[in-house]
Amino acid sequence: MTYDEYIAETTKNCMKALADRTNRELENIELIRRILWQEDRVTGVINGICSSMKGKAAENIKGVLFNNLFLKDFNEVGLNMQNVMAYGPEAIDVVARCLALKHININKLIEEERERRRRREAESRKYSTRV
User: Tell me: the pLDDT tens digits for 69-95?
Assistant: 999 999 999 999 999 999 989 999 999
Number of domains within the chain: 1
Residue 124: its pLDDT value, please?
Answer: 84
Residue 130: its pLDDT value, please?
Answer: 60
Residue 22: its pLDDT value, please?
Answer: 96
Domain assignment of residue 45, given as a range? 3-130
Residue 108: its pLDDT value, please?
Answer: 97
Burial annotation 74-103 (CB, 10 A radius, 16+ → b, else e): beeeebeeeeeeeeebbbbbbbbbbbbbee
Query: CA-CA-CA-CA torsion for 46, 47, 48, 50, nearest 10 degrees?
Result: -100
Query: CA-CA-CA-CA torsion for 77, 42, 63, 102, nearest 10 degrees?
Result: -40
Residue 54: its pLDDT value, please?
Answer: 56
Residue 48: its pLDDT value, please?
Answer: 62
Residue 4, phi then psi, degrees to nearest 5: -60, -40
Residue 55: its pLDDT value, please?
Answer: 67
| CA–CA separation, 103 and 11 (whole Å) | 9
Q: Which residues of the chain have pLDDT under 50?
A: none
